[in-house]
Structure 1
Amino acid sequence: GGGDGGSLQQVLRYPSVEEAVVCELDQRVVDLSRQYFTAGFGDPWTDPRATLLVRDAFGFLAENPGQFDVIISDTTDPIGMAERLFSDEFYQLLVRALAPNGAAATQCEQPFFDTALIKEIYCVAKSLTAHPAYYYTQVPTYPGGGIGFMYVSNTPWEAGLATPLPPGINNYINPDVHRAAFALPEFFRRALYGE
């Protein structure tokens, strides 16, 4: 996923990013996004650090063990062709493709509607890494007004707070919002973590 360039644009805001590789299954997504979105948002595909691969992410991840500091899985919902991006096999490939201290973030649905699926994904991530964690943010265009993500890593998410954000990088995230994203409603925290 990621062919719309939105996640890519956000990633490329960080000067420390040396290369950003996007695997998109459908070239038409990229073409239409460039045609209709770039007027208002710019064209991240012109950045020399951006690489587009029109191919399936499964094969790409399998061919690149230990290569990535960060992997962001920018997917649609777990239905149809995208369903396998929520599978045990995908998470195994994802973790295998991470560098030793790497971290991944995957779209992981809504706690108010998809608790069972999120718990299943968390259990898989927990079997593969030491510090998986679910986090949630508000996105008004999603059902219920928000969406969740799974942090998948052997490094605790709190380690990200140690690196200050470059000034002017964004107008949303700060250390308080970062911490708050991992604070879960009690019903969901108990269901997910069993505490």
Structure 2
Amino acid sequence: MSKPWILGLTGGIGSGKSAAAQHFIDLGVHLVDADHAARWVVEPGRPALAQIAERFGEQVLQADGSLNRAALRQLVFQDAEQRRWLESLLHPLIFQEINQYLARAESPYAILVSPLLVESGQHRMTQRVLVVDAPEHLQLSRSMSRDGASEEQIRAILKAQSDREERLSHAHDVLVNDRDIAWLQQEVERLHHFYLTLHGGQA
């Protein structure tokens, strides 16, 4: 059996990336979420967590010994040098974790979902990139109602994520998600049937 090719799936906050990803899973596609991989590498007992605690102190740990993400985010968000240190520790580990999970795929193609696919360089692990895109006003309203966050917080996240042009410049396929969930699922099915005809992610 030939090795599955890898599709990178990305999109800004509130674009509908997760809903699209879920429908690919429902269609039987093997999918790895980079956010999950990022959580696995800092679980208690993994070397990365010990290194993070050593650098930032006990304040980044919860009472049960797990990582206090909010505290860590606060620390690195304000300090570019600390953020770079953290990224240089975690990115290679996350790559490793993703690769191990992708290697288990039994579907004709597998998907790597990552909000930072382009920024983190993870798109280099893929043969093709699908961007789920949505107009900014929809991104804002969806994210605010889903996360209960303020418009200001969402705008800050939008700004930190690679800008839309940058993301779209890496895209082979773009799914503009500006309608309802049924339409989104239909588009995912259309893309899925197209992807099944591809070899190595290329037409």
| TM-score (normalizing by structure 2) | 0.30
Compare relative contact order (CA 8 Å, sep 6+) and give the higher one, 1 or 2: 2
Structure ranking higher in helix proportion? 2
* Largest Rg, 1 or 2: 2
Structure ranking higher in strand proportion? 1
